Amino acid sequence: MENMLSLAGIGPVVLGVFIILIFFSVVSWAIIIFKLIQIHKANSESVRFMDFFWKTKRFDTIAAQADRFSSSPLVMLFNEGYSELKQLMDAEGKQDQAGVSTDLGGVANVSRAMRRATNQEVNRLEKYTTFLATTGSASPFIGLFGTVWGIMVAFEGIGRTGSASLAVVAPGISEALRATAIGLIAAIPAVMAYNHFQHKIRVLVKEMDSFSTEFLNIVQRNIAGK
């Protein structure tokens, strides 16, 4: 590995390729660590919030303690839906949840608020993952460019010296192949992490959709029971 990352004797173009690839790799690993922590918290706190939600049964009590689960995307959905309910109650001049208007437009407003919250949470969860996708797709080609350039330089060296011996060819070819290797080292973890995070985010999106449906069902049941 030390030989692969050694920059001694490398031409300026291939050196530039190495610097770009190392930058992509370092930033990708920083994003991977950050997203692992973020998504783990989102999953674990969503489980705890749902358990708390079904045990508590009162929206006002849930809202008062929702900050305990601030990393869960479901909390954002609940806060947006409950905030819309409170506005409807205020518009009716009533203070308890039973005072929600029976106008279905009110329920539709809550639904729209929760859809907006879902979109915001998806954007938050997907933030920075596009860099991983870019790294995974671009790094091998950047490395390949460094390889092609290094081989061109090696052949130019052969032409200048008039010798095709291993001692003349090997250093340039080795330098060229290192660019491809580093490109793959940067790309492979980024692609694997991107696919992993996309799967986890899809699971969270399904949970958000299910929670929105349950929340709206509760509101509609209360309306129908008036």
Contact 43, 49 (CB under 8 A): no
> What is the per-residue pLDDT for 148?
87
- How far is it, in rounded angstroms, from Cα 64 to Cα 70? 12
> What is the per-residue pLDDT for 105?
56
- How far is it, in rounded angstroms, from Cα 136 to Cα 145? 15
> What is the per-residue pLDDT for 165?
62
Does the CA dihedral 46-52-54-56 come out positive or negative? negative
Closest CA to 71 of 94, 99, 42: 42
- How far is it, in rounded angstroms, from Cα 220 to Cα 100? 10
Contact 111, 211 (CB under 8 A): no
User: 74 Cβ partners below 8 Å, 6+ apart?
Assistant: 46, 49, 50, 53, 207, 208, 211
Q: Tokens for 40? A: 């783990």
- How far is it, in rounded angstroms, from Cα 136 to Cα 159? 36
Walk along the chain (226 residues) and give the pLDDT tens digit of each residue: 444 445 545 678 888 899 999 999 999 999 999 999 999 999 999 999 999 999 887 888 898 898 899 899 999 999 999 888 887 766 655 444 444 443 445 678 888 889 999 999 999 999 999 999 999 999 999 999 988 888 887 777 667 766 556 665 666 677 778 888 999 999 999 999 999 999 999 999 999 999 999 998 888 776 555 5
Closest CA to 125 of 5, 38, 203: 38
